[in-house]
């Protein structure tokens, strides 16, 4: 049997590593994506002060600190039995939109998008943000830098600083907005709406008008018929900051809908010996290995999971795009992993429109931003991180220290599906032991579509990832090494 | 961005970035210099930078020693691979800069030194409300699956700072460092105005010096948790009873957390001329609590004041446990 190791260990820490095993004919028998990193947050959160959780857990991820910050803050609201004032919730959600604007722009232009904008078979040296700028123009490049920065600035105004904000407190936020800040945010948000529209048009022109790309999106190796999960509001529209967790099945029908606090009754995590990451699944169905279909509990989260799990977007322009998305790709649910990119841009448009709604809301300047807390107890907080459903769960002592912490992060929710996507892409493109550079990128694209925070968990990179494939013969002797971007 | 041969033919500074046990926030901080990144690219060649460019272990191994002018290294050292790469980059770099709190002093991941590997594994994989693990399996460094063998790097018992692993030339603190701090460091390097080896490239002020709130000499009787203070007023947070690490923390951040009405939690590390940030803060706190008049207080009263500090490790060493004078819990096996 031959072994192929796709080893982005060049990420130095080796934050992600793919091993592909071939059978006697040289076809793929199985593939494993390993996450060789763990930092132990759930352990060292024990004994810490409850109020430190929003700032400690934001250090899980410097790409999506706001998601952890508010999942933690919401868990503290629940644990301290306090409902924040309406204005505080709006301020939190506005900051959340700033975060989504920055993060989705980062992914589309710097991380995953280059595969499409520049092209899946473009030279590796062009499959990065510079390649995107070359193709779309320097003016576009400046707009990308500007609007990514706007997202960060909105977060910084509200949160003190953008990377590792500080404003979240049980019962509210520590800082309100003044009129000058509102004006500044409105100006930036308005510009972001136009930029989101432009980005969707760019996707239209470069990807959707190119039959080759559309065929690729719809091709077999990139389809996965899993369940889908995401937070929805009371109208079952996508919501990033709050709502109920909705799960839809392979036909797009509602399978489950529950409050975040009951998460452990609905989902479980499975442990494997060969990776530090855990794999979540729907508890009622059970862990049935790395399989899709209705009999396997594996589900997907993130932009595609959210769009599939909801019944629309709550803002007008994003709502129209939502309809067009499903019409174009053959109805609900869309199972193509590569459709994550389009879904992400639709969410970017939603985030910008929602930011405009919030910043124009007269209540946004209210200084009633805190409510007094009750006795410390136990609480769960759920938000949608840019790449999927994020759950924080704390049990506090009577002194307000953390007794226990449990964190189910977006990448864990997608881990089973990512593994399957990598395996299926490998099976689809590697035949009779034939492997070349394009094949490597096709495998890489299968997981890059999910999530740049996978990048954060594993420290993979934007553009082409340096990969090494080692092929071993049946005696496990190395007979060929293929390299990409090396 | 030149690489390899092309880079050797010009005189631009050859720079490398690397991340170890960290969150990616230091990379985002570099991107947050926004359009200035274009100016920086005019001054330096980035030999490698995982967040923006493609490279490979072997590229680094193949380099001649000292062929990187400056390597900015963020993240703490937690696994055998991180240790290996830190040693490799040390060898290949003329200057090695510990970039950000994790590399400088262990950072938030360094708080894991309150536990060891077995405890971390137990909480992550065994004793956990959503994990279903009847066979009680935990990840292993080498696992036989039916198709072959899979390997994982070893997860160490303790977290180390970069300078506990290799020799470090300069330190750039902060979680993450601010864009201004980053530009100051880059300019110092480009203009060859580097301070003596071992220096912290940063502000000489404390966070208090940069804070918008006036500090008087008022004493407090009681320590309050920030969420217990119903309305945080526009005055020194310490004087409102909230523990703020401003007096013991190096500035350069413009006291941005205080602008959001929240206390400094110490990410800038100790102030210049201070060795142990926690010790300095405890002394500041003792003073503001009036413990200096301890001869007049009963042991019971003193104990009562000290008991109000509910989590000394997490409060005073949030970003620097591995570099503190007492840097881990001793766990008997």
Of A21, A37, A44, the CB nearest to B112: A44
CA of residue A193 relative to chain centroid, distance? 21
**Enclosing domain of residue A20:** 3-38+424-484
Closest CA to A15 of A462, A483, A454, A476: A454
Global ipTM: 0.92
The verdict on A429 and A359 lying in the same domain is no
Closest CA to A210 of A117, A319, A148, A293: A117
Torsion of CA B91, B92, B93, B99, to 10 degrees: -80
Secondary structure (DSSP) of B283-316 = HHHHHHTTGGGGGGS-HHHHHHHHHT---HHHHH
* Interchain CB contacts (distance < 8 Å): A and B: 289
CA–CA dist A300, A6 (Å, integer): 24
* Share above pLDDT 90 across residues of chain A, in percent, rounded to a whole number: 64
CA of residue A84 relative to chain centroid, distance? 26
Q: Chain A, 261-290: which have a CB under 8 Å from a chain B CB?
A: 263-264, 267-276, 278, 280, 283, 287
Higher pLDDT residue, B286 or A73?
Answer: A73
Tell me whether residue A269 is in a domain.
Answer: no
Q: Does residue A269 have a pLDDT over 60? A: yes
Binning pLDDT at 50, 70 and 90, where does residue B103 land? very high
Note whether A128 contacts B: Cβ–Cβ < 8 A.
Answer: yes
CA–CA dist B155, B132 (Å, integer): 22
pLDDT single digits (tens) A396-437? 999 999 999 999 988 889 989 999 998 998 888 888 877 776
Which residues from B are below 8 Å from A275, CB to CB? 139, 152
Contact A143, A52 (CB under 8 A): no
Tell me whether residue A188 is in a domain.
Answer: yes
Q: Sheet holding A28-34: strands in order across?
A: A28-34, A17-22, A3-6, A467-472, A478-484
Give the end of a domain, one of A366, A383, A400: A366
The verdict on A20 and A146 lying in the same domain is no
Tell me whether residue A322 is in a domain.
Answer: no
Beta bridge partners of B249: B270
Q: Chain A, 27-66: which have a CB under 8 Å from a chain B CB?
A: 29-30, 32, 34, 36-40, 42-44, 46-52, 55-56, 58-63, 65
Of A39, A269, A486, the CB nearest to B78: A39
Note whether A172 contacts B: Cβ–Cβ < 8 A.
Answer: no
The dihedral of CA B330, A457, A65, B132: what is its sign?
Answer: negative
Closest CA to B314 of A78, A399, A379, A385: A399
Please list, in sequence order, all residues whose beta carbon lies within 8 angstroms of the beta carbon of residue B226, skipping any fewer than 6 positions away: A51, A169, A174, B232, B237, B242, B262, B263
Radius of gyration of chain A (CA): 22
B9: phi then psi, degrees, rounded to nearest 5:
-85, -10
Beta bridge partners of A469: A6, A482
Beta bridge partners of A136: none
Contact A105, A157 (CB under 8 A): no
Of B148, B260, B265, the CB nearest to A174: B260
Note whether A135 contacts B: Cβ–Cβ < 8 A.
Answer: no
SS3 A366: coil
Torsion of CA B211, B213, B218, B222, to 10 degrees: -80
The verdict on A348 and A213 lying in the same domain is yes
Higher pLDDT residue, B24 or A269?
Answer: A269
Tell me whether residue A415 is in a domain.
Answer: no
Distances in whole angstroms, Cα of residue B189 to Cα of each of A24, A463, B46, B69, B195: 56, 29, 14, 9, 10
Backbone torsion region of residue B165, taken as left when φ is above 0, otherwise alpha when ψ lies between -120 and 50, otherwise beta: alpha
Q: Does residue B145 have a pLDDT over 70? A: yes
pLDDT single digits (tens) A141-184? 889 989 999 999 999 999 999 999 999 999 999 999 999 999 99
Distances in whole angstroms, Cα of residue B239 to Cα of each of B229, B251, B259, B260: 12, 20, 16, 17
Note whether A155 contacts B: Cβ–Cβ < 8 A.
Answer: no
Disruptive mutation site among B17, B20, B28 for chain A (greatest number of A CBs within 10 Å): B28
CA–CA dist A246, A229 (Å, integer): 6
Cβ separation of B226 and A169 shorter than 8 Å?
yes
CA–CA dist A380, A371 (Å, integer): 18
Pairing of strands A279-282, A267-270: antiparallel
Count of structural domains, chain A: 2
Q: Does residue A14 have a pLDDT over 60? A: no
pLDDT single digits (tens) A20-64? 888 878 788 888 888 767 778 999 999 999 999 999 999 988 888
Disruptive mutation site among B108, B211, B256 for chain A (greatest number of A CBs within 10 Å): B108
Note whether A1 contacts B: Cβ–Cβ < 8 A.
Answer: yes
Binning chain B into helix, strand and coil, the percentages to the nearest 5 are 40, 15, 45
Q: Calculate the average pLDDT of chain B.
A: 85
Q: Does residue A366 have a pLDDT over 90? A: yes
Beta bridge partners of B45: B14
Torsion of CA A220, A226, A232, A238, to 10 degrees: -10
Q: Any idea which of A7-21, A269-283, B19-33, B236-250 has the lowest mean pLDDT?
A: A7-21
The verdict on A34 and A176 lying in the same domain is no
Please list, in sequence order, all residues whose beta carbon lies within 8 angstroms of the beta carbon of residue B180, skipping any fewer than 6 positions away: B252
Pairing of strands B77-79, B170-172: unpaired
Tell me whether residue A309 is in a domain.
Answer: no
Tell me whether residue A397 is in a domain.
Answer: no
Contact B52, B26 (CB under 8 A): no
The verdict on A32 and A88 lying in the same domain is no
Most confident segment among B59-68, B254-263, B307-316: B254-263
> Could you tell me the residue ranges of all domains in chain B?
4-109+159-190, 111-156, 207-323
The verdict on A34 and A87 lying in the same domain is no
The verdict on A88 and A28 lying in the same domain is no
End-to-end alpha carbon distance in chain A: 26
Of A3, A406, A486, the CB nearest to B128: A406
Burial class (CB in 10 A: 0-12, 13-18, 19+), B151: middle
Note whether A123 contacts B: Cβ–Cβ < 8 A.
Answer: no
Please list, in sequence order, all residues whose beta carbon lies within 8 angstroms of the beta carbon of residue A180, skipping any fewer than 6 positions away: none
Chain B nearest-CA distance from A94, in A, is: 16
Q: Chain A, 285-304: which have a CB under 8 Å from a chain B CB?
A: 287
The verdict on A157 and A93 lying in the same domain is yes
pLDDT at res. A93: 98
Closest CA to B176 of B104, B83, B245: B104
SS3 A323: helix
Q: Does residue A387 have a pLDDT over 60? A: yes
Binning pLDDT at 50, 70 and 90, where does residue A106 land? confident
How confident is the model over A460-464, as a mean pLDDT?
A: 32
Q: Where are any strands of DSSP class E within A88-155?
A: none
Q: Does residue B225 have a pLDDT over 90? A: yes
Of B57, B108, B137, the CB nearest to A273: B137
Which residues from B are below 8 Å from A454, CB to CB? none
The verdict on A112 and A9 lying in the same domain is no
pLDDT at res. A2: 62
pLDDT at res. A459: 31
Cβ separation of A372 and B230 shorter than 8 Å?
yes
* Share above pLDDT 70 across residues of chain A, in percent, rounded to a whole number: 87
**Where does B4-109+159-190 sit in CATH, by number?**
3.40.50.700
What CATH number is given to the structural domain containing A199? 1.10.645.10
Higher pLDDT residue, A469 or A367?
Answer: A367
């Amino acid at each position: 049997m031959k072994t192929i190791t796709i080893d982005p260990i060049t990420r130095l820490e080796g934050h992600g590593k793919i091993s592909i095993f071939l059978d006697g004919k040289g076809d793929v028998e199985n593939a494993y994506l390993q996450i060789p990193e763990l930092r132990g947050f759930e352990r060292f959160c024990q004994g810490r002060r409850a109020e430190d959780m929003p700032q400690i857990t934001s250090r899980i991820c410097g790409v999506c600190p706001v998601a952890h910050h508010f999942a933690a803050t919401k868990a503290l609201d629940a644990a301290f039995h306090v409902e924040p004032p309406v204005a505080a919730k709006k301020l939190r959600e506005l900051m959340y939109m700033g975060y989504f604007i920055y993060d989705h722009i980062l992914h589309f232009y710097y991380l995953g998008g280059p595969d499409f904008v520049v092209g899946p078979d473009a030279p590796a040296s062009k499959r990065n943000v510079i390649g995107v700028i070359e193709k779309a123009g320097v003016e576009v490049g400046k707009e990308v830098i500007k609007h990514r920065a706007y997202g960060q600035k909105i977060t910084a105004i509200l949160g003190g600083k953008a990377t590792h904000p500080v404003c979240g407190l049980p019962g509210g936020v520590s800082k309100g907005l003044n009129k000058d800040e509102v004006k500044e945010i409105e100006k930036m948000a308005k510009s972001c709406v136009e930029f989101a529209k432009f980005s969707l048009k760019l996707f239209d022109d470069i990807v959707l008008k190119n039959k080759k790309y559309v065929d690729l999106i719809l091709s077999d190796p990139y389809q996965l018929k899993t369940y889908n999960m995401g937070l929805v509001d009371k109208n079952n529209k996508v919501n990033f900051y709050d709502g109920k967790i909705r799960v839809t099945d392979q036909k797009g029908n509602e399978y489950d809908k529950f409050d975040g606090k009951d998460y452990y009754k609905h989902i479980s995590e499975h442990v494997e010996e060969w990776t530090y990451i855990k794999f979540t699944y729907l508890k009622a169905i059970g862990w049935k290995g790395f399989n899709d279909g209705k009999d396997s509990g594996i589900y997907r989260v993130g932009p595609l999971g959210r769009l599939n799990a909801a019944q629309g977007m709550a803002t007008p322009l994003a709502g129209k795009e939502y309809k067009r998305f499903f019409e174009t790709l053959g109805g609900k649910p869309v199972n193509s992993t590569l459709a994550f990119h389009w879904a992400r841009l639709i969410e970017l448009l939603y985030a910008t429109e929602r930011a405009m709604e919030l910043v124009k809301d007269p209540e946004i300047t209210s200084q009633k931003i805190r409510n007094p807390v009750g006795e410390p107890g136990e609480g769960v907080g759920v938000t949608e991180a840019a790449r999927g459903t994020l759950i924080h769960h704390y049990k506090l002592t009577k002194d307000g220290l953390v007794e226990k912490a449990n964190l189910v992060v977006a990448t864990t929710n997608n881990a089973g599906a990512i593994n399957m996507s990598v395996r299926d892409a490998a099976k689809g493109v590697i035949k009779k032991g034939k492997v070349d550079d394009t094949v490597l990128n096709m495998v890489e694209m299968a997981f890059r579509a999910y999530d740049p925070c996978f990048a954060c968990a594993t420290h993979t990179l934007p553009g082409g990832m340096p990969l090494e494939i080692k092929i071993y013969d049946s005696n496990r002797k190395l007979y060929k090494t293929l390299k990409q971007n090396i | 961005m030149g690489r390899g041969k092309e880079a050797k033919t010009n005189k631009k500074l050859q720079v490398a970035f690397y991340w170890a046990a960290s969150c990616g926030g230091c990379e985002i901080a570099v991107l947050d210099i926004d359009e200035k990144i274009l100016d920086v690219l005019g001054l330096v060649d980035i030999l490698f930078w995982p967040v923006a460019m493609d490279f490979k272990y072997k590229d680094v191994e193949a380099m001649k020693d000292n062929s990187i002018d400056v390597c900015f290294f963020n993240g703490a050292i937690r696994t055998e691979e991180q240790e290996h790469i830190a040693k490799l980059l040390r060898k290949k770099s003329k200057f090695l800069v510990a970039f950000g709190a994790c590399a400088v002093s262990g950072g938030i991941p360094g708080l894991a030194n309150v536990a060891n590997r077995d405890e971390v594994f137990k909480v992550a994989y065994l004793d956990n409300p959503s994990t279903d693990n009847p066979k009680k399996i935990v990840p292993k460094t080498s696992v036989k699956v039916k198709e072959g063998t899979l390997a994982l790097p070893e997860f160490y018992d303790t977290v180390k700072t970069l300078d506990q692993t290799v020799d470090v030339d300069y330190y750039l603190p902060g979680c993450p460092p601010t864009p201004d701090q980053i530009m100051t460091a880059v300019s110092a390097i480009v203009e060859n105005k580097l301070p003596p080896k071992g220096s912290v490239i940063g502000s000489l002020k404390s966070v208090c010096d940069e804070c918008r709130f006036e500090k008087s000499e008022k004493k407090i009787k009681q320590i309050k948790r920030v969420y217990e203070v119903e309305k945080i007023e526009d005055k020194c947070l310490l004087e409102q009873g909230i523990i703020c690490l401003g007096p013991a923390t190096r500035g350069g951040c413009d006291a941005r957390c205080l602008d959001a009405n929240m206390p400094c939690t110490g990410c800038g590390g100790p102030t210049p001329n201070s060795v142990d940030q926690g010790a300095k803060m405890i002394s500041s706190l003792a003073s503001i609590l009036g413990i200096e008049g301890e001869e007049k207080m009963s042991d019971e009263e003193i104990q009562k004041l000290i008991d109000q500090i509910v989590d000394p490790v997490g409060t005073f060493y949030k970003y620097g446990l591995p570099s503190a004078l007492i840097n881990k819990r001793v766990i008997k096996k």
